[in-house]
Amino acid sequence: MTAATAALLLAALTACGGGGDDKPAEKPGTTAPGEPTSSGDPTGGGEPSGGGSTGSPESGEGLALGKAAQTTGDGGTGVLEITPDTVVFAKAGSGETAENGVFAVVTMKDKATADVAADEPAPISGGGWTWMAPDGEMVGEGGGSAFNVVMDKYNNADPVQPGAYQWRAKVFDLTPAQAKGGTLIYIDGENKAHRWQMPSTDSGPNVAEVKKQLTP
C-alpha cells in the first residue's frame, strides 16, 4: 500500500509540471487588441500640407478693367485713385493710321484722394504707362503714330486737385499680335507697379464715346 501511494503521488506531480511548460508556447500567437504596430498607424505623417500652399494667386496677374488702384503721385506727393475703364482697338484715330497695325486706346479716371494735388509721373522719370503684350514684350505709350491721337475729353495732363478727378487716355501703337490682350502697367511716384489685365476686344462703358472722339 505504501509503494502504490508513492507511485500515484509521483504521477500527479509529473502531470502538473507538464501543464506549466505549455503556457509560454501560447504567447507568441496572442496580440492585444490595442497594441500599436510599426505599420498600423495610417495617419502617421499623412496630414495634408494645404495650409502652406495658400499663396497669393493674384500676385502678378493684375486687376480687371474697371477696378481702381490707389497710387502715389509724382515725386511721392499725394494719392491718385486710378481706374482704367475702357479700351478700344482701332486701325486709325484722329486722322492717324497706326504704324504697327492697331491702336489700343485706354481711358482712365484719375482722382486725387489726399489733401494735396497729385499727378502721374512722366515717362522720362521712369514712371507712367506701358503695355505688356501676351509674349511679354513691353510697348511704351505714345510710340509710332500714337502720340498724335488726341481726344478732347481725355486730353488732360494737369495735376489733379484734392477731391477732384480727370479723364485721361493712353494710346499704344501695337502689332495685331501685341493687341491680343496683355497687361497694362502703371509705375507710380514711389516706383510701384500697378497692373490691369486687358481684354482683346473693345470693352468698357465708354466704347461708343471713345470711337466717336477718334473719328476726325
CB atoms near residue 207 (< 10 Å): 16
The DSSP H or E segment spanning 86 is strand 79-90
pLDDT tens profile 43-60:
333 333 333 333 322 334
pLDDT tens profile 189-198:
999 999 999 9
Using alpha carbons, select from 104, 116, 54, 55 the residue that is nearest to residue 80. 116
State whether residue 139 is helix, strand or coil. strand
Whole-angstrom Cα distance, residue 84 to residue 176? 21
Whole-angstrom Cα distance, residue 83 to residue 47? 44
Q: Is the dihedral of CA 3, 7, 13, 17 positive or negative?
A: positive
Q: Is the model's pTM score more than 0.85?
A: no
More confident residue, 29 or 126: 126
Mean pLDDT of 124-138: 95
Mean pLDDT of 184-205: 97
Radius of gyration of the chain from Cα atoms?
A: 40
Whole-angstrom Cα distance, residue 118 to residue 54? 36
Confidence of residue 124 (pLDDT cuts 50, 70, 90): confident
pLDDT above 80 (res 136): yes
More confident residue, 80 or 3: 80
Query: Which residue shows C-alpha cell 482722382?
Result: 111
pLDDT above 60 (res 3): no
Identify the pLDDT of residue 61.
65
Of 83-87, 102-106, 122-126, 186-190, the poorest mean pLDDT is in 122-126
